[in-house]
């Protein structure tokens, strides 16, 4: 059983499917320039789909003067790491990788040129002989055309693959004399009279998967980009920190050698552009699905918002709690008791928000009963400031006190929680549409609030569980996220709301050990979390003393898709400050030590009567799945 949104992994989509599904981002024209660029964006945002679309578009055979050829190449992590091991030394692996990579790219370029029958190259035989000479100058056979060149390169590739699989038994291949043969190949194509305006665009994907020496080789290629070939390289955040080349004296320099494009802000655009992009992407899939099922539809039927309940405002969410009479009576009783404490009879007709907010403020150190009550009654600026800061936090507190999930419904909520990742939008929509009752060959009905909320929590849970699959520090990152997620959840249940809506943190320099290796290990793990979409980072703000200056001068946010798992909001309000030692503990510490720290936070965020509400399971790491509270 499938829905219009079941296919959401670009690496698994056929070229035909990509043509059907692709929606152009607003600023895609920035990809058409011949400038070298690194395009930075999280996994699932649409980078791969864009590169594959551009490759297909550039290579269309037509009589229109051609300006670009496209070669798409994905640095598959398993393939890249297969060029390592003890059977060869570092220099041998480096030579083998350069040879295999150049062979593969030249082979792909040959396949592309062969398809351009509407623009044949006049000097085909000479080009083919020169490309052959880059690999074997003394090759006995002749290569007179692109068909023979393709067969030759396939043979070269096969010999290299056999050697890589078993270096101890297979014959050592003759490595290409020109290790960047594909660059020379591009020059030969551009030297033709009919193709002087052609620039070959190498569309490289998942740059972050390469080993260091492989990045140095690719960086050297980028350094040598010219009018006849350029590079558009997609990479996850933090995946292109190493700008070294094969030359010890040269590095890639931004502005001089390349520019960086943020996929979200530079290609998709602002929030309204992103929302439109998501809407259009969903509409395209709905249309193709209905066409495939021979279901007639109109443009109105493709508006994805119409399938979801409208966004619920805060007042409506408060109203969902009003039916819980016991809870309402308890809140009103607490407010009445507080008034009596100050010798005043409570006869105000306050809403649940006002009563619960008044109780929160009454627990603050600087609480003054009369001035607070006057602010409430006069609805003055002070009261409006409290509402602005605490309204949503009080709402989440009410939901947690009633042990009910925060209702998330509307396409707008889905886009916000997906955090600009179109794959997450498709995953949530897929879950929703599979949960809708409908007859075969009929349109989908509206998705209920219950199914929408259930879908968001389920996808959030999946994303949390998948953290452990991250290479190197997967299990450690999952443990850290579980700990800080529980701490954030405690602050949301704190009756004093000492921190309202926390979902991000900074790592302060303070450390008892002053061990530089701890700092390096902690930051390596966090940067890996950023690269794999567990965290997002922004420049830190509001640092206090020198000891409290954040490491790397950054704040780190839980990705919005993970926040529902802990039943905390995705909006960015206040942050928590953790020391380097704390984060090191959350990553690598033992369960019993972490449980002790969680209990300390429980005591810090609870009144004496609240502390008993936390179970041993909630204050430990024994429950690695399911909601924390």
Question: What is the pLDDT, as a whole number, of residue 285?
Answer: 95
Q: What is the average pLDDT value for the chain, to the nearest integer?
A: 88
What is the band of 43 on the pLDDT scale with cuts at 50, 70, 90? very high
Q: Is the pLDDT of residue 53 over 80?
A: yes
CA trace torsion 38, 195, 106, 68 (10° rounding): 30
CA angle 211, 214, 220 (to 5 degrees): 140
Question: What is the pLDDT, as a whole number, of residue 610?
Answer: 44
Q: Is the pLDDT of residue 16 over 60?
A: yes
Q: Rounded mean pLDDT of 589-602?
A: 92
Q: Rounded mean pLDDT of 219-244?
A: 93
Phi, psi of 594 (to 5 degrees): -65, -40
Report yes or no: 145 and 113 within 8 Å, Cβ to Cβ: no
Q: Rounded mean pLDDT of 491-519?
A: 86
What is the band of 137 on the pLDDT scale with cuts at 50, 70, 90? low
What is the band of 317 on the pLDDT scale with cuts at 50, 70, 90? confident
Read off the pTM.
Answer: 0.90
Question: What is the pLDDT, as a whole number, of residue 175?
Answer: 80
DSSP 602: H
What is the band of 138 on the pLDDT scale with cuts at 50, 70, 90? low
Q: For 72-116, write each residue's pLDDT tens digit.
A: 999 999 999 999 999 999 999 999 999 999 999 999 999 998 887
Alpha-carbon distance 550 to 548, whole Å? 6
Q: Rounded mean pLDDT of 363-381?
A: 92
Question: What is the pLDDT, as a whole number, of residue 629?
Answer: 42
Question: What is the pLDDT, as a whole number, of residue 546?
Answer: 47
Q: For 404-440, write each residue's pLDDT tens digit.
A: 888 888 999 999 999 999 999 999 999 999 988 777 7
Q: Rounded mean pLDDT of 181-209?
A: 88
What is the band of 574 on the pLDDT scale with cuts at 50, 70, 90? confident
Report yes or no: 458 and 311 within 8 Å, Cβ to Cβ: no
Q: Which of 12-16, 158-162, 278-282 has the highest mean pLDDT?
A: 278-282
Question: Per mean pLDDT, which range of 444-453, 541-550, 558-567 is the poorest?
Answer: 541-550
Question: Per mean pLDDT, which range of 85-94, 105-114, 490-499, 614-623 is the poorest?
Answer: 614-623
Report yes or no: 244 and 251 within 8 Å, Cβ to Cβ: yes
278: CB partners within 8 A, 6+ apart: 304, 411, 415, 418, 422, 425
Sign, CA torsion 119/25/73/225 = positive
């Amino acid at each position: 059983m499938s829905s219009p949104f079941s296919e959401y992994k670009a690496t698994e989509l056929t070229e035909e499917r990509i043509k059907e599904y692709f929606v152009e981002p607003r600023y895609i024209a920035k990809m058409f320039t011949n400038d070298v660029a690194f395009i930075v964006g999280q996994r699932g945002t649409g980078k791969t789909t864009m590169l594959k679309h551009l490759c297909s578009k550039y290579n269309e055979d037509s009589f229109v003067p051609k300006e670009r050829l496209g070669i798409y190449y994905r640095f598959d992590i398993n393939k890249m790491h297969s060029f390592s091991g003890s059977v060869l030394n570092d220099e041998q692996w480096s030579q083998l990788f350069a040879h295999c990579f150049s062979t593969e790219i030249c082979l792909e370029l040959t396949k592309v040129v062969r398809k351009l029958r509407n623009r044949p190259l006049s000097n085909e035989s000479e080009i083919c002989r020169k490309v052959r000479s880059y690999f074997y100058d003394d090759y006995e056979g002749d290569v007179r055309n692109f068909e023979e060149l393709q067969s030759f390169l396939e043979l070269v590739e096969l010999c290299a693959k056999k050697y890589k699989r078993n270096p101890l038994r297979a014959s050592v291949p003759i490595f290409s004399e020109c290790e960047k043969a594909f660059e020379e190949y591009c020059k030969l194509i551009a030297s033709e009279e009919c193709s002087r305006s052609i620039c070959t665009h190498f569309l490289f994907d998942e740059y972050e998967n390469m080993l260091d020496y492989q990045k140095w080789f690719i960086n050297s290629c980028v350094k040598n980009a010219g009018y006849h070939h350029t590079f558009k390289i997609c990479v996850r955040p933090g995946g292109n920190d190493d700008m070294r080349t094969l030359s010890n004296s040269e590095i890639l320099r931004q502005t001089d050698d390349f520019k960086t494009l943020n996929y979200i802000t530079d290609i998709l655009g602002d929030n309204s552009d992103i929302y439109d992009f998501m809407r259009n992407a969903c509409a395209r899939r709905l249309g193709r699905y209905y066409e495939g099922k021979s279901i007639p539809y109109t443009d109105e039927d493709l508006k994805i918002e119409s399938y979801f309940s409208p966004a619920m405002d805060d007042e409506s969410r408060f109203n969902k709690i009003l039916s819980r009479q016991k809870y309402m009576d308890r809140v009103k009783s607490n407010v009445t008791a507080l008034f009596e404490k100050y010798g005043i009879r409570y006869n105000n007709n306050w809403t649940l928000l006002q009563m619960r907010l008044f109780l929160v403020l009454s627990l603050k150190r600087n609480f003054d009963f009369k001035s607070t009550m006057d602010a409430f009654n006069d609805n003055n600026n002070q009261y409006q400031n409290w509402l602005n800061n605490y309204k949503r936090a009080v709402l989440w507190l009410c939901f947690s006190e009633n042990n009910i999930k925060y209702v998330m419904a509307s396409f707008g909520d889905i886009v916000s929680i997906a955090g600009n990742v179109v794959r997450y939008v498709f995953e949530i929509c897929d879950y929703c549409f599979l949960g809708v009752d409908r007859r075969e060959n009929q349109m989908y009905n509206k998705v209920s609030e219950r199914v929408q909320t259930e879908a968001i929590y389920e996808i959030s849970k999946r994303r949390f569980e998948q953290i452990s699959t991250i290479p190197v520090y997967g299990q450690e990152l999952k443990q850290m996220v579980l700990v800080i997620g529980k701490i954030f959840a405690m602050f949301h249940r704190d009756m004093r709301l000492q921190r309202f809506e926390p979902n991000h943190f900074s790592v302060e320099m303070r450390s008892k050990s002053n061990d530089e290796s701890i700092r390096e290990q902690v930051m390596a793990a966090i940067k890996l979390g950023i690269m794999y979409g567990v965290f997002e980072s922004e420049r830190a703000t509001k640092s206090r003393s020198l000891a409290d200056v954040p490491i790397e001068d950054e704040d780190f946010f839980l990705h919005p898709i993970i926040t529902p798992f802990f039943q905390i909001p995705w909006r960015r309000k206040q942050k928590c400050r953790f020391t380097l030692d704390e984060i090191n503990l959350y990553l690598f510490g033992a369960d019993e030590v972490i449980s002790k720290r969680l209990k300390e936070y429980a005591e810090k965020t609870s009144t004496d009567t609240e502390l008993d509400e936390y179970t041993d399971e909630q204050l430990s790491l024994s429950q690695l799945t399911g909601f924390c509270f």
